[in-house]
Amino acid sequence: MILILGCNSVDVIEIRDNHKSTETCISLLSEFLSTFDIIKDVVTSENIFNPDKLTVLPIGAELVYLDTTFFDGDGMDVLIRFGDLGISPHGLLCKDNKYRSGGILLSLDQDYLLDNSTLKISLSIDEPFYSGDGKQMTKLTGGLKFQRIETDRIKVKCNEFKLVNSEADILMSADLDIIEVKSNTLDELDDHICVGGDIELQSGSESATFTITSPLLKQTDYDCLRFISNGQIQVDKSSTISDIIVDFDPHQDLGCDRLITITTNGKRVFTHY
């Protein structure tokens, strides 16, 4: 497929097969980040005790409270169950227009909004968690650690986190900073998060480093929540010495879509992840 966008024929070229691995990795990164949307929805101090006020979880998702108090010294544990994959479209349709199935175990040592709170996420192979568009579903397994460093800043770390779908089988290690930005209006849907940091990806004998050079922005309204609206990533692959930059907002309009550009050694292609 060829996309012709803009008037400058010098910096826009046809999509070639060697960009496929970058597109696939970006798609998996998007699924990884969208898991934070569900987690944040559940673990705010208000919602964890009031499941009727959850905003992203769909009807049919089950919250299983395995440990309901912080006062016993070992934290609070909540299991989110989305059910089986089932037939296509697979999983349950969430309010951010993503489909999910399987389970997520949340272990929280204290109120999530308090500084120094630690949230551990377990995605078990015994009850695999899937996320996707209902047709292409990505299985995510492994552990994540969220630590609130400041009121609006969260540190996220994972090691050998596994993402698998029909196109890829990847191990991910990440060291990320998430900044929660509150709007100046009463409408919480104007809030957004910014993500920075580094991500290491391994697939077979090939590896890649994703360095976020401009923070990735995710808006919180339902139409945009599943997309990365802005930001840039520098990609360093073991298989090439090329200079690769991914731009999530090529038209500088904060578009709620999957349009990106991949610029390799100064030559730019428009594509979708």
Could you report the per-residue pLDDT of 44-61, keeping only the tens digit for each? Answer: 745 555 555 557 888 899
What amino acid is encoded at 227 in this protein? F
Query: Would you kindly state where each structural domain of the chain is located, as residue ranges?
Result: 17-272
Query: What's the confidence (pLDDT) of residue 191?
Result: 81
**How far is residue 31's CA from residue 36's CA, in Å, rounded to a whole number?**
9
Calpha distance 18→27 (Å, rounded) = 16
- The residues, any chain, with a CB within 8 Å of residue 194's CB and separated by 6 or more, are 178, 179, 181, 215, 216, 217, 231
Q: Mean pLDDT over residues 65-70, rounded?
A: 85
Cα within 13 Å of Cα(53), Cβ side:
9
Residue carrying the six token digits 């930001």: 231
Two structure tokens written together for 84 = 């089986």
**Both tokens of residue 188?**
């919480």
In which region does residue 179 sit, left (phi positive, over 0), alpha (psi from -120 to 50) or beta (all else)? beta
- Res. 14: pLDDT tops 70: no
Lowest mean pLDDT among 135-144, 177-186, 193-202, 251-260: 177-186
Rounded to two decimals, the pTM is 0.86
Q: Which residues contact 179 (CB under 8 A, 6 or more apart)?
A: 152, 153, 193, 194, 195, 196, 215
> pLDDT tens across 113-155, in order?
899 999 999 999 999 999 999 999 999 999 999 999 999 999 9
H helical segments located in the chain: 20-43
Give the separation between CA 114 and CA 112, rounded to whole angstroms.
Answer: 6
